[in-house]
Amino acid sequence: MTIFAIIFYSAIFLSSLFSYYMFKKEKRRHKTRARLPPGSMGLPCIGETLQMYTQDPNVFFASKQKRYGDIFKTRILGYPCVMLASPEAARFVLVSHAHLFKPTYPKSKEKLIGPSALFFHTGNYHACMRKLVQTSFSPEVTRKLIPDIERLAISSLESWANGQVINTFDAMKKQFAFEVGILSIFGHLNKKYTDLLKKNYSIIEKGYNCFPLKLPGTAYHKSLMARKRLNQILGVIVRERKENNLSANNLLGHLLNFRDENGNTLSEETIADNIIGVLFAAQDTTASVLTWILKYLSDDPKLLVAVKGEQKAICESECGENRSLTWAMTRNMPLTYRVILESLRKASVISFTFREAAVDVEYEGYLIPKGWKVMPLFRNIHHNPEFFADPGNFDPFRFENPPKPFTYMPFGSGMHACPGNELAKLEMLVLLHHMLTKYRYDVNI
């Protein structure tokens, strides 16, 4: 056989192999495309980001669900995503098959909160940190905070009661919710440290959702500098507590007392990351929902009268308005509590959560490829008439009967659900009690 013939037949053989490889690859790609959920990926790179942000994102998700069903794909901020809008899907991702998914956050946000914060993790580390946090927010610990929460609520209301118009969300977040967060983490803290923490934390918040440009003068760069200062402040507090052997039944106390199986303690950086993570989670939901509650009550004068009546009855039955609240009294506010539950549902402050497929996952016959973002849509579920009749109507009496499993997830679900949700509801009850029995307010939108 001549050299030419050898080259010729070798070329044919290699060409055949390449063609077979490309055929199989295209077949696999076609099969994958066929198994992906329905939906549109939008424009190259940016996907449907513009459509989502040029309208209310909740309207965007609702229109997609109406068109494609409870599972659909899209591309947001450059990431391919699968949206899930059914209780069964939420349970699959967050509970029964949670090991197939992992939390996902932009690196820029991890740097501001701290990479060791528990909600960035899964596995043993997450379980260990979550246990510490849950212990710090247990009912036994929380009920002992009532006198201090009440003191903070009264102080906040007095500072707002001068007849001026206030931004309710900002006022509740920067003062009441922040200070309750400090209380639950540190117990009683020197005012100079509280002021320093508040000052630098507010700088971080301003840069949290900004473009992560590290140039001096940008909001993000200022946030990074504030984050470094927070580490220094928290380091001083930690060392003071250690030197004075101050161990309390709060989050910092549990973090300081922790020892792993080898007797190792947590580093100051790990403690700081988890404190800032909890502080970050402790404010927005509480302040937002309290703001919505005031609006919803203002929209329904009869309901407002009924809630005020419930709170005044507590005052009268407990020997006057100046009587301090007790745990038992907060358990005797059924209508007010249902108003909180319904506000959490209707406002759905936490509209969705992010996960990322750690492996290729099959659900309901569809493929969720490894690396794709997965978003359980809590708001869509909360506003589904199949689970909540007339979902656009504010009706706290719907909670006279408990909702079906995984149809109501205002604080998330599974191992990454908010561990401080009962404290948040207690804060709301205490503040509403004093506000509705001692003050009048008007809502301006």
State the Cα–Cα distance between residues 173 and 205, nearest whole angstrom. 12
Closest by Cα among 86, 192, 197, 184 to 141: 184
CB-based burial label for 305 (10 Å; 0-12, 13-18, 19+): exposed
Question: How long is the chain?
Answer: 445
Q: Which residues contact 128 (CB under 8 A, 6 or more apart)?
A: 258, 260
Closest by Cα among 339, 350, 349 to 399: 339
Q: List b or e across 402-432, with b for residues whose CB sees 16 or more CB atoms inside 10 angstroms.
A: ebeebbbbbbbbbbbebbbbebbbbbbbbbb
Closest by Cα among 149, 233, 153, 82 to 422: 149
Q: Is the dihedral of CA 287, 282, 408, 62 positive or negative?
A: positive
418 is an annotated ligand-binding site residue = yes
Angle among Cα 353, 358, 362 to the nearest 5 degrees reads 90
State the Cα–Cα distance between residues 113 and 273, nearest whole angstrom. 6
CB-based burial label for 139 (10 Å; 0-12, 13-18, 19+): exposed
Q: Which helix (H) or strand (E) covers residue 219, if one does?
A: helix 219-243
Phi, psi of 399 (to 5 degrees): -90, 15
Name the pairing type of β-strands 373-376 and 355-357. antiparallel
Instruction: Please enumerate, by residue number, every residue annotated as part of a binding site.
Output: 418
Instruction: Please enumerate, by residue number, every residue annotated as part of a binding site for heme.
Output: 418
